[in-house]
Structure 1
């Protein structure tokens, strides 16, 4: 078994490629089309109406006797959380690039994430039949913007025409030379052979390239036209020939997606990295010190899940459970995978409600949606009591409005989002609260020390109280109370870049409960924050802005007005590359402005880069 995912910028042809792979493997009788709203993986009404993928979909197929689980992921940046969770369970990623549009903003974001996740990646150059395609120019851009170590598997005859066809013969001598150079730079034996004999046998070159591919050191490149069904079989052949499922002996599985079936049953999508899962058995949830029992389980067989008694390493299963959550690990973490993050939501929006009945319905619906997408972080504002959610952008806002209407029958609107700021303590502070003294009615004593950390450090918690002095359940309660108390600072935003130390406690063996310590710790950390004071942190984006030379003055002026920072411009022929950082708040609508003043010739690529201190006047 092998698990693959198709990732790409919007409109690069991911879903069409998925349809063709299912068709070639005999899973479906006819490939669907996005423009006709009849695709298999985009099965939500919202997806077919908007023509975009919103949720990652999983299907399976058989090719040359091997089972392939395939994940079709969203392409729009507003749904990057779905992509992020999907990447963590893949054995191989297929990065689709439009031959016409080339390397686009999200192409770079996703490829960088694949590199950080050490995921073997195949590049599939799609739409080679489009008029105006010049593949040599695209290769140059891929090497410059994505990856220099490419290995060409096939080539194209009559590129840029409807007669375009894919051939196993490498048409260009430079392709063959490029392959040899890419491998020789990474393998000493191939280098020596090339220097001595001036050539390398193709089968030997392929063998070494496959090894380098699995080590994430080289990227194979294929060509095709998904809409015309060209280049599909070579892609499938490479997947089963070069791909290899990640597996280990010990039990390890990760929950990467949660949804509801047509009857409302909660489905948890789980990738098994090691060991086996069996019906009616009890399994541990890593780090939660709890267990759950599998009462119903299914594996993928084509486009529909089929109930099963046992599932094995390498497969993806659906577990019907109310106990599991996204990112839960069954057993222990995979030895091959580290959690990584592409982005975090930097916007917060208010959901409008008209009366108590609608308010309850909205809250009930958002509880389910947040269960399926934890990044939403549905909450009630403690002062205004407004219903709030976190989002990545305006498109996601519109999709959630549609989901509320179609899934839950709630017709409402979501206000334009505001930037999510954070707070950071200004100075050290220490607060003690003693049981039954000075208004403390809890049977608990807690002493906490709060210290500011450098920007980007996050939250660090440590306990200096031994388990001999205070047992683990009470210690856990103090930590939970502290974390809850850090959710809202003096200015209404959550705290970060702070170290909290649990330094003192007293315990009453008769009256004390974990709840006492949890509630008191929340109060104590809030008092410590008041004593420390806080400052604003605002979210920052790293950017790459490419504009025509004539627009460089306008671009730099705009960046400085937005309180951004810009590095030395890089001039390449008629275009200029600007890099630097931009505040999220001031640059929300800038992409549209760029398109306006460059006549559509400007490209802005951004990536979340963390937070920095901002003057309250600037905010």
Structure 2
């Protein structure tokens, strides 16, 4: 069987969901194409998605083109969901990027295209809305070549764009300049172009196919998704421009089992459903298979319920092969888990931490339990939400990427769980990183240690992006497993608040000393001693505070450049040397999340409405101004007197 997995990407409202509906109609999955305006689309299955007319969560459907099975993932387009979009790309073989013929290349279009180019993702461009008033094919083509990529091969000649009588004709590769474009990536073609040696249409098409699969060239189709214009041409070309997955006839001829969990949802029975892209081997019903969690923990999974995508639905299956998408119901899986072994084809993906924290509140005390259940469930489904519940204060806090994601969460809770919630003002969340190495230990029986436990730690800087690494510098059998678990769990909890109250990241914690007295020592002794020793070691190491930043790309008129750069500097942003294209300046740089909204709101006036800003999360940078402190939830064990007073009160 031949299979491809594709995605549909676009800036908000460019028409990607409408294109998806038209594809499902033309491939026989639906009797009538759904409409975003009418709220009856297949992939926007959530009520909130239909109401807003935007896609919130990626959804997968399948269809056949002859003997080719196509799994299609419709992804969000709003900037708040860029992390989910990038994550979805990790399981795709190719992409259709939709661009509006009216609005042209927009900020999010550039962010998406840049990511696709970095991944060398085979990409087909679809210029949509050719029948709309204001559609301008030559203008938008120039925008694509200037703002996205110059390696564009036109697939259509367009007549009467912007009218109901718009007409598309297949391009002649010779007159459309394919050879000139493709020669930019091939020395032999360049020689033939320079020497004016003609190439046949078949040879040019073959070269375009090869370069598209390599992510070096991009075929550009034109059409109207709402009218179905040009859609069949795109479908007919999928197997030419996107690499195929061909499953072997016999299981023993294939590669080892390898699958990647890219989506989690809850079905109507409140069962967890995990969508798994299969990169190797076969996944069979009732098999016991190895798995590796996103955190690197090994485990075993029993395949109790297995489905595959078929004809727009999920159907029970005995086996799902490499290249396809499997759906596991009832399995305790999370986004980012690997089933079997990690294939070299699984793309590394950075789970950017949501930078904005808000408290979620409900007016009714009776709704607290429901709110906790709702936020816990939504966090499992969405790896880009982080939720924390403080049992002592009953506070519910979440971390999100932006305002739209926050509003979507509010409406989802209201519609799915029947409770109204409000949010506190947003707070940008920083992190701390250790500066040097710090060691501390407290021994059982020594003065100042009232606990039946010995614990010692050495903390030091970890690799960038490593989070928390916990290591044993003692023999594994030196402590009962229950005590080992108590120590590790407490380390994780304590490091949620560092010296300045922010979570500590990129840190390696080495357990250097342990000891206990049987039978009097308990896990509680270790849980109470660990904060004292660990925070002392962290204090000796010292920490720096880092704040979240966005990677930005500004496109502004040359006349506005000085004003924009001056304002960017005042907002504590950084920038590289501007690049000029005609009368336009391109500026790349970074800006703190806390000042990003200010730049977004002022860009229109700074550039007389002609500026464009695209951005995406870009990790953290050291705080340059005064070091901010975060309100603590935990007792600060560096103040031993207060800590012991608290312990004694609990006792």
TM-score (norm 2): 0.86
Matched, 1:270 2:272: no
Select which of 380, 385, 392 maps to 2:389: 380
Give 1:573 deviation, angstroms: 5.1
Report if aligned partners of 1:297, 1:319 keep a CA contact under 8 Å in 2: yes
**Residues 1:343 and 1:463: Cα distance change in structure 2 (over 3 Å):** closer
CA–CA distance in structure 2, aligned partners of residues 34 and 480 of structure 1: 47
Report if aligned partners of 2:454, 2:516 keep a CA contact under 8 Å in 1: yes
User: How many residues are aligned here?
Assistant: 615
CA–CA distance in structure 1, aligned partners of residues 63 and 460 of structure 2: 54
Deviations 1:423-463 (A, max 9, x none): 22344311123345456577764432223469x55546374
**Residues 1:512 and 1:124: Cα distance change in structure 2 (over 3 Å):** farther
Unmatched 5+ stretches in structure 1: none
Select which of 380, 386, 391 maps to 1:371: 380
**Residues 1:262 and 1:200: Cα distance change in structure 2 (over 3 Å):** same
Partner of 2:643: none
Partner of 2:264: 258
CA–CA distance in structure 1, aligned partners of residues 263 and 446 of structure 2: 48
SS in 1 for 2:37: helix
**Residues 1:235 and 1:533: Cα distance change in structure 2 (over 3 Å):** same
CA–CA distance in structure 2, aligned partners of residues 438 and 283 of structure 1: 51
**Residues 1:546 and 1:149: Cα distance change in structure 2 (over 3 Å):** closer
SS in 1 for 2:64: strand
Partner of 1:601: 610
Q: Residues 339-488 of structure 1: matches in 2 within 5 Å?
A: 339-341=348-350, 343-380=352-389, 386-435=395-444, 437-438=446-447, 445-452=454-461, 456=464, 458-459=466-467, 461=469, 463=471, 465=473, 481-488=490-497
CA–CA distance in structure 1, aligned partners of residues 597 and 290 of structure 2: 43
- RMSD of equivalent CA atoms: 3.1
SS in 2 for 1:555: helix
**Residues 1:521 and 1:143: Cα distance change in structure 2 (over 3 Å):** farther
Partner of 2:289: 283
Deviations 1:527-566 (A, max 9, x none): 3223334332111223223344554454334323322234
Matched, 1:230 2:236: no
Give 1:14 deviation, angstroms: 0.5
SS in 2 for 1:167: strand
SS in 2 for 1:545: strand
Unmatched 5+ stretches in structure 2: 247-253, 629-651
Select which of 52, 57, 60 maps to 1:58: 60
Matched, 1:201 2:207: no
Deviations 1:256-277 (A, max 9, x none): 1111122222211111111111
Instruction: List structure 1 segments (4+ residues) > 6 angstroms apart after TM superposition.
Output: 471-477, 507-519
CA–CA distance in structure 1, aligned partners of residues 360 and 456 of structure 2: 39
381-390 vs 427-436, which deviates more? 381-390
CA–CA distance in structure 1, aligned partners of residues 208 and 583 of structure 2: 37
**Residues 1:438 and 1:167: Cα distance change in structure 2 (over 3 Å):** farther
Give 1:137 deviation, angstroms: 3.5
Give 1:229 deviation, angstroms: 0.7
Report if aligned partners of 2:479, 2:515 keep a CA contact under 8 Å in 1: no
Q: Residues 288-367 of structure 1: matches in 2 within 5 Å?
A: 288-341=297-350, 343-367=352-376
Give 1:578 deviation, angstroms: 3.9
Q: Residues 160-175 of structure 1: matches in 2 within 5 Å?
A: 160-170=162-172, 173=175, 175=176
**Residues 1:458 and 1:250: Cα distance change in structure 2 (over 3 Å):** closer
Deviations 1:241-267 (A, max 9, x none): 332245761101111111112222221
Report if aligned partners of 2:462, 2:469 keep a CA contact under 8 Å in 1: no
Give 1:194 deviation, angstroms: 4.4
SS in 2 for 1:280: coil
Select which of 55, 69, 72 maps to 2:71: 69
**Residues 1:525 and 1:67: Cα distance change in structure 2 (over 3 Å):** same
Report if aligned partners of 1:343, 1:607 keep a CA contact under 8 Å in 2: no
Report if aligned partners of 1:257, 1:268 keep a CA contact under 8 Å in 2: yes
Give 1:140 deviation, angstroms: 3.2
SS in 1 for 2:549: strand
558-567 vs 390-399, which deviates more? 558-567
CA–CA distance in structure 1, aligned partners of residues 206 and 107 of structure 2: 33
Give 1:11 deviation, angstroms: 0.9
Deviations 1:567-586 (A, max 9, x none): 45555555444443221112
**Residues 1:571 and 1:196: Cα distance change in structure 2 (over 3 Å):** closer
**Residues 1:342 and 1:201: Cα distance change in structure 2 (over 3 Å):** farther
Partner of 1:151: 153
**Residues 1:355 and 1:156: Cα distance change in structure 2 (over 3 Å):** same
Q: Residues 530-545 of structure 1: matches in 2 within 5 Å?
A: 530-545=539-554
Report if aligned partners of 1:246, 1:336 keep a CA contact under 8 Å in 2: no
Report if aligned partners of 1:32, 1:38 keep a CA contact under 8 Å in 2: yes
Give 1:371 deviation, angstroms: 0.6
TM-score (norm 1): 0.90
Report if aligned partners of 1:85, 1:257 keep a CA contact under 8 Å in 2: no
Matched, 1:611 2:642: no
CA–CA distance in structure 1, aligned partners of residues 391 and 549 of structure 2: 26
Partner of 2:103: 101
Report if aligned partners of 1:294, 1:321 keep a CA contact under 8 Å in 2: no
Select which of 61, 79, 88 maps to 2:81: 79
44-53 vs 200-209, which deviates more? 200-209
CA–CA distance in structure 2, aligned partners of residues 145 and 602 of structure 1: 13
